[in-house]
Structure 1
Amino acid sequence: MSPSTASIPQSISGQEKKNESDVAILESSAEENNDSAKTKKGLKFWLIILAICVAMFMSALEVGGTSTALPSIINDLHGDDFIWVGSAYPLAATALLPASGGMAEIFGRRFSMLTALGLFALGSALCGSAQNMSWLIAARTIQGAGGGAIQSVGNIIISDLVPLRERGVYSSFVGLVWTFAAGIGPLVGGALAEDGQWRWFFYMNLPICGLAAILVLAFVNLRTPPGTLLDKLSKMDWIGNFIFIGSSTSTAIALTWAGITFPWSSASTLVPLIVGLCGLAFFLFYEARFAKHPIVPFTLVANRTSLSGYLQIFFTPVITFAVTYYLATYYQSVKNANPIRAGIDSLSMSLSLGPTIIVTGISVSVTKRYRPQLWIGWVILTISMGVFTTVHSTTSIGHPIGFSVLVHVGAGMIYSAAYFPVLAPLPVSENAHALAFFAFCRTFASVWAITIGGTVLQNQLVKRLPIEFTSQFPSGAALAYSAIPTIGKLQDPLRAQVREAFAESIRVIWQVLTGISGLGLLCSLPMKGLPLHTQVDEKWGIEEGKGGNGEVQAGPRDNVHSNVADSQVDIGESEPSAQV
């Protein structure tokens, strides 16, 4: 653990304030670094942003479109493991996200982004050519590993170039691209699924991957850490990664089996769940006490403000991912919408999310405050999920569409502002690890969203679906999900009974999500309002010169910069009144 990060717990626990001369030095250094960062926002800076936006567009398009195409995919492949098709992607992304931060820190940003793009392209090609469910699930796993790393490394690169105080504006550009892609994703996925061409939804990622890779190679010219390949490999936390991957996989398997393959009280469910959760706890202990190069330094969660931010970004995707997946299920199973219509009905979510992210990001940059936006967002999100529980099979289609707008207005405010409390108490030298763990919390939440929602749905369908319907399928309610496209062909009263069963089962999901939203609101209360950094970590700036070995060497100013960052943590934690 570096000296800079080791000083954080002392400052958090109430270390004495710096004297006035130290403050003057800090402010002078911060202004100098801020001016330096501003000079880099020329053409090359915007080309780097373009490269990140193209990569993010591809990842978001896949996330938005899979849910509407999923029933048709399952039906064509004659499978019943729909939960694994949805959860394999975020599970793989989650398992490798902490490693992506370490990889970016050790091997450099460009190499890490190219590796992520390569994995995503490989996974997309395999998804498009899948001949059975096992093949598709394995391909989704590879795709998820690349997709998660794309999000993580993209945000890390932005943090290298833009100080936290200004980042809200620039992150809004990326957020706009993300929401646009997520918005058209259901339309694209639904249209291709409707025509039986869902495979092209995955194949079209290949040329976009190629374009993104060309842009990264040409323009993401950030400094590369010195050292041989062997030296860099020795700095990877292999033991920590092994513990984490095994524990997160065990947890996800238990959540997928619970109540469907095995009862919740069975050893087959409880053993992997307990082992997985205990393994995750041990992983954090190992990282804090034994890891020489931790992928998740304990300092990231050693203060209540960062911890609050991480919890908030965990709970928010649990809600939004579940709403995205299971609202599309509601439209197709209850309202007899085809995949294209379900995509159109889901479009309101992204149309409200994008502008909200932009306005919130700009408001943080202008006001230098993030707590009011987060609190307002949680209140809106909790209320909107509460009103979602009033939706039944006979409810007008306008109600869930309008409620989903409110959900994504609240969620958009949280998505845009949540990393400010995470990063404000930490030195900028911890950006890579902090943002990788931030992306991990967000992606791991999607595993819980899909599995919790799926478990609730299947358990409720077992109780509510008429026996005349489930008796047609050897796998029972699990296969009934893949039979959603056939519901419209049923005769009444069976058709009405099946739709009622789906509507009431999905309503239980909304009730669970309302409780989770309330918990997120409570977790937002302890965070402090801290000053935002005005500098970036210069050792990761745009490459302008090369050393004798072809790699940029960190200058002496980098060490000064690290000390300045540590000083800001001390002042920020001891002077929360600056933003109260």
Structure 2
Amino acid sequence: MSTIDPTSAPSKSSQGRGWRFWVIFLALCSSLFLSAIDLASVSTALPTIIHHLNGTDSFAWVSAAYTLSCTAILPFSGKLADIFGRKATLVSALLFFTIGSAICGAAPTMSALIAGRAVQGIGSGAIQSLVLIIVADLVTLKERGMFISMTGTTWAIASAAGPFLGGAFAQYVTWRWLFYLNLPLCAFALAIVIIFLHLEKPRTEGFWKTLFAMDWIGNFLIIGSSTSVMLALTWAGVSYPWSSTHVIVPLAIGLVGLCVAMVYEVFVVENPTVPKSIFASRTAVAGYVGTFLQGGVLMIVLFYVPAYFQAVKLAKPLLSGIYFLPLMAAISPAAVAQGIIIGKTGNYKLVNLVGWGLMCLGTGLLCLLGPNTSIGVTVPIQIAAAVGIGLIYSTQFVILAPIEPTLNAQALSFMVFLRSFAQSWSVAIGATLLQNQLKHRLPPSFSSTQLSFNADISYTIIQVIPTLSEPLRTQVRTAFAESLVLLWKVCAVVCAAGFLSVFAQQSIALHEKKDARFGMKKMRRGDDSESETTRTDGLVEKDASNGLEAVGTQQDEVEASSNSSSDSELPIIIMPVNNDLDR
């Protein structure tokens, strides 16, 4: 059977897609919205939550439990999606997120809240990876710029609304509604996914045989080692000093375990969760490095810019969300712009360079923020950083361009895993750096009477500063602003490293292939102008020259469809097809 050069076929206009495609895409965006708004709203309301539940000593676990479970599930979720299908895995993820939200909303203690956040994290991690994987199944890499822009816009809108919701509920209603609000949103997303998300699923040899064939040892090594590392990072600098055995031992065990897991995945297991082929290109490796660095910087900015407004500018939670809006709102148009630019030009390398440059500039300018800085000055600084963050969404192109679409699920899951893992590191390191700076900069009179140094100082201070009298209040505000400068400097250096990593990338043409094992089920005729060629290697390539479906012999078709539960084994003829409607 002849094949078509995947880079030569013209792109398909989004206007040619059927209504079922857009309903499915709405389901994906709705699911992603849940994950994003939860992350953004909780960070703004966190000081209030800690105060109400008397959880200063365990503050770090509210975010750590979430990121720990979110990170640990990510590589596993990609493999589950390959074996059991995208729909079943996404529905399970939404159910986990719903249950976790209910637990958090009803939590009477910090322990219950932390448990709920862990359950939420499992759902959120799988949602993030599944959305990217399903979009990759439905849309070729060359066309994907606009759709990545849409998912990025969804994330940005939710992130912009999150601080408002977090601040408003924490200040005027109750923080519990931050979690209860997820319940109707989850019900809406579940309904759309269950009713409309009809995708192909590979044939398996039976549930139990498939279950036992999974890479359980590799997943155990990855999940266990990741958990050990993040436990150490959660304790480091807050519950125990970095030199404590409580930190060193789990950190060492986790890092060694991750190395063992990588060796096992590359050289031992036949069907690995993280195949070595996703690292075969230096371009993909550079993309993974950029993803890790961006994840770390993003989490520090999301956590500590609102903390600056609340501690230094004495803004209440709702007002801090308003002050934080320029950063969250500017990410969306930047994400749209990068998708359009890359979709039109294919030049992801230039977009990455500009993105990292703006992130470096924005985080560097954050060093100028002090107690006397006007709110107007913070706006362009936040926008510079936000535009850079939006443009760096293009790391997905860097990672996927060198590999075959059949590796999309593993590559995207590992990409999100790295981003989440970096966020865990950045939260722990950021908290430690800020805590150490505050211990040295706070006035002795304040430190000795107001604080317990067994707790996290930064979030304790936020609640205490408004009650102080002058001049002590100004001194503490100044100390907090000066302590944050070190975090901004570290972020600027990390962004500079990200900028340099772009030079390791090669300019690879964006292909027009898709994985034939997944995607929409059999299509109706007559609604589309473009066709696809199903190859014997399990890929789909587009043939837009005449709007016909080009196929081969019966033998070729049987080979191509052996892994799909909806394909036909009858002789194939050339006929018009519709690529976007379910049968």
Query: TM over 0.5: same fold?
Result: yes
CA drift of 1:101 comes to: 0.2
Q: Do residues 263 (structure 1) and 241 (structure 2) align?
A: yes
Gapped regions of structure 2 (runs ≥ 5): 524-531, 543-583
Amino acid at match of 1:86: S
Residue aligning to 2:126: 149
Structure 1 window deviating more from structure 2 (208-217 vs 261-270): it is: 261-270
Q: Do residues 504 (structure 1) and 488 (structure 2) align?
A: no
| C-alpha distance after superposition, 1:288-347 (max 9, x if no partner) | 011232111111112100000111111112112111110111100110000000100111
| C-alpha distance after superposition, 1:79-111 (max 9, x if no partner) | 122222122212211100000100100000000
- Pick aligned residue for 1:485 from 451, 458, 463: 463
Residue aligning to 1:376: 354
- Pick aligned residue for 1:463 from 440, 445, 450: 440
Q: Do residues 294 (structure 1) and 263 (structure 2) align?
A: no
Return closer, same or farther for 1:33/1:278 CA change in 2, 3 Å cut-off: farther
Q: Distance in 2 between matches of 1:560 and 1:295?
A: 20
| C-alpha distance after superposition, 1:408-449 (max 9, x if no partner) | 11111111x111110010001101111111111121121122
Q: Do residues 52 (structure 1) and 28 (structure 2) align?
A: yes
Residue aligning to 1:43: 19
Q: Distance in 2 between matches of 1:330 and 1:544?
A: 53
Q: 2:7–2:510: 8 Å Cα contact kept in structure 1?
A: no
- Pick aligned residue for 1:97 from 43, 65, 74: 74
Q: 2:433–2:486: 8 Å Cα contact kept in structure 1?
A: yes
Residue aligning to 2:51: 75
1:318-329 matches, cutoff 5 A: 318-329=296-307
Residue aligning to 2:260: 282
Q: Distance in 2 between matches of 1:261 and 1:324?
A: 23
- Pick aligned residue for 1:529 from 470, 489, 507: 507
CA drift of 1:31 comes to: 6.4
Q: 1:110–1:222: 8 Å Cα contact kept in structure 2?
A: yes
TM-score, length of structure 1 as denominator length = 0.87
Q: 2:289–2:501: 8 Å Cα contact kept in structure 1?
A: yes
Amino acid at match of 1:219: F
Return closer, same or farther for 1:191/1:29 CA change in 2, 3 Å cut-off: closer
Residue aligning to 2:557: none
| C-alpha distance after superposition, 1:345-377 (max 9, x if no partner) | 111112110000001101101012211000111
Residue aligning to 1:568: none
Q: Do residues 365 (structure 1) and 376 (structure 2) align?
A: no
Q: Distance in 1 between matches of 2:172 and 2:261?
A: 46
CA drift of 1:455 comes to: 1.3
CA drift of 1:466 comes to: 2.8
RMSD, aligned α-carbons: 2.3
Q: Distance in 1 between matches of 2:24 and 2:433?
A: 43
Residue aligning to 2:147: 170
Q: Distance in 1 between matches of 2:174 and 2:15?
A: 48
Q: Distance in 2 between matches of 1:88 and 1:402?
A: 34
Q: Distance in 1 between matches of 2:174 and 2:540?
A: 56
Q: 1:258–1:269: 8 Å Cα contact kept in structure 2?
A: yes
Return closer, same or farther for 1:366/1:563 CA change in 2, 3 Å cut-off: closer
1:114-263 matches, cutoff 5 A: 114-227=91-204, 228-263=206-241
TM-score, length of structure 2 as denominator length = 0.87
Q: Distance in 2 between matches of 1:241 and 1:33?
A: 40
Amino acid at match of 1:164: L
SS in 2 for 1:536: strand
Decide which structure has greater helix share.
1
Residue aligning to 2:327: 349
Q: Distance in 1 between matches of 2:212 and 2:10?
A: 32
Q: 1:152–1:436: 8 Å Cα contact kept in structure 2?
A: yes
Residue aligning to 1:307: 285
Q: 1:72–1:482: 8 Å Cα contact kept in structure 2?
A: no
| C-alpha distance after superposition, 1:108-166 (max 9, x if no partner) | 00001001000101111111111111211111111011011111001101000100000
| C-alpha distance after superposition, 1:510-536 (max 9, x if no partner) | 111111111111222111000111121
Q: Do residues 451 (structure 1) and 428 (structure 2) align?
A: yes
Q: Distance in 2 between matches of 1:368 and 1:148?
A: 29
1:404-423 matches, cutoff 5 A: 404-415=382-393, 417-423=394-400
Structure 1 window deviating more from structure 2 (433-442 vs 182-191): it is: 433-442
Q: Distance in 1 between matches of 2:51 and 2:293?
A: 31
CA drift of 1:564 comes to: 7.7
SS in 1 for 2:514: coil
Residue aligning to 1:559: 536
Q: 1:60–1:182: 8 Å Cα contact kept in structure 2?
A: yes
CA drift of 1:275 comes to: 1.7
Q: Distance in 2 between matches of 1:517 and 1:556?
A: 42
| C-alpha distance after superposition, 1:176-219 (max 9, x if no partner) | 11111110100001000002510000011011111101100111
Gapped regions of structure 1 (runs ≥ 5): 1-21, 546-554, 566-580
Amino acid at match of 1:44: R
SS in 1 for 2:4: helix
CA drift of 1:30 comes to: 6.6
CA drift of 1:258 comes to: 2.3
- Pick aligned residue for 1:387 from 343, 350, 365: 365
Structure 1 window deviating more from structure 2 (201-210 vs 272-281): it is: 272-281
Structure 1 window deviating more from structure 2 (111-120 vs 452-461): it is: 452-461
Q: Distance in 1 between matches of 2:176 and 2:60?
A: 19
Q: Which has the higher contact order (CA 8 A, sep 6+)?
A: 1
Q: 2:163–2:321: 8 Å Cα contact kept in structure 1?
A: yes
Amino acid at match of 1:423: L
Would you say how many aligned residue pairs link Structure 1 and Structure 2? 532
CA drift of 1:562 comes to: 4.0
Amino acid at match of 2:178: F
Amino acid at match of 2:319: R
- Pick aligned residue for 1:63 from 39, 44, 51: 39
CA drift of 1:563 comes to: 9.8
Q: Distance in 1 between matches of 2:89 and 2:105?
A: 25
Q: Distance in 1 between matches of 2:458 and 2:301?
A: 20
Q: Distance in 2 between matches of 1:330 and 1:457?
A: 12
Amino acid at match of 2:480: F
Structure 1 window deviating more from structure 2 (259-268 vs 320-329): it is: 259-268
Q: Distance in 2 between matches of 1:537 and 1:284?
A: 26
Structure 1 window deviating more from structure 2 (400-409 vs 95-104): it is: 400-409
Return closer, same or farther for 1:219/1:67 CA change in 2, 3 Å cut-off: same
SS in 1 for 2:504: coil
